[in-house]
Structure 1
């Protein structure tokens, strides 16, 4: 499983970073940066929660 981010859709809410900071970060403008696109079984629950909480629906699992 991989996680992808639509940086154009991101509204800089930061929910992803608060939920899964080892997977997501924000650049200087607050836009999401995916640090690790391949999701391990250990991180899957946190990443799924981050995708669910994104107010802009800028994250998706593939």
Structure 2
């Protein structure tokens, strides 16, 4: 299973990922943080990756 990684240099804190996958992402200090990389089965992490307007999220194979 792939795990999400957030590039904090690119992240603009738009909150789209946290809205799509609240068990996986949260916004802290105006950046997205992965809080539950093992929870992608509860949402569509690929949609979060595709929806990020600056391409700050990747899915990395374990």
Which of structure 1's runs of 4+ aligned residues deviate more than 2 A?
Answer: 37-40
Give runs of aligned pairs for residues 15-54 of structure 1, distance below 5 A: 15-27=16-28, 29-38=29-38, 40=40, 42-43=41-42, 46-54=44-52
- Runs of 5+ in structure 2 lacking a partner? none
Look up the SS of the partner of 1:33 in the other structure: strand
In 1, Cα distance between the equivalents of 2:25 and 2:58?
13
- Which structure features the higher share of helix residues? 2
Maintained 8 Å contact 2:26/2:34: yes
What RMSD, in angstroms, separates the aligned Cα atoms of the two structures?
1.5
* Count of aligned pairs: 59
Instruction: State the TM-score, normalized to the length of structure 1.
Output: 0.83
Partner of 1:60: 58
Maintained 8 Å contact 1:4/1:61: yes
- Runs of 5+ in structure 1 lacking a partner? none
- Which structure features the higher share of strand residues? 2
